[in-house]
A = this chain, B = another copy of it.
Amino acid sequence: MRARVLVRPKQGILDPQGQAVQRALPALGFEGVGDVRIGRLIELEVADPAQLPAMCERLLVNPLIEDYEIVEAAGAPASPLNGGAIGG
């Protein structure tokens, strides 16, 4: 199964990369942008999807400062797949 793990900084955790983007966009002429958060997108083939939360906790995610969400990536790549577990 192809799985997708969305990793994002926890609410309240400073996200300097997101701040930089948020300041840069108006300078390029893009107005009305706010609350930019930048995290990681991890996509992988796994034989046993039940192992994914353990993989996240042990390697992929820093649970002190990051939340993660596991979604199946099996569907069409352009469709948002929102039915995942929320970890952290």
Alpha-carbon distance between A28 and B2 when the two chains are bound, in angstroms: 20
- Which of A30, A60, A87 has the largest number of chain B CB atoms within 10 A? A30
**A86 touches which one: B21, B34, B67 (CB < 8 A)?**
B34
**A38 touches which one: B24, B38, B42 (CB < 8 A)?**
B42
Alpha-carbon distance between A37 and B3 when the two chains are bound, in angstroms: 11
Contact residues, A3-35 vs B (CB, 8 A): 4, 6-8, 18, 21-22, 24-26, 28, 30-35
Known: A21-B59, A41-B8, A43-B36. A77 touches B87 (CB 8 A): no
Q: Residue-by-residue, is A69-86 near B (CB-CB < 8 Å gives 1, otherwise 0)? A: 101110111111111111
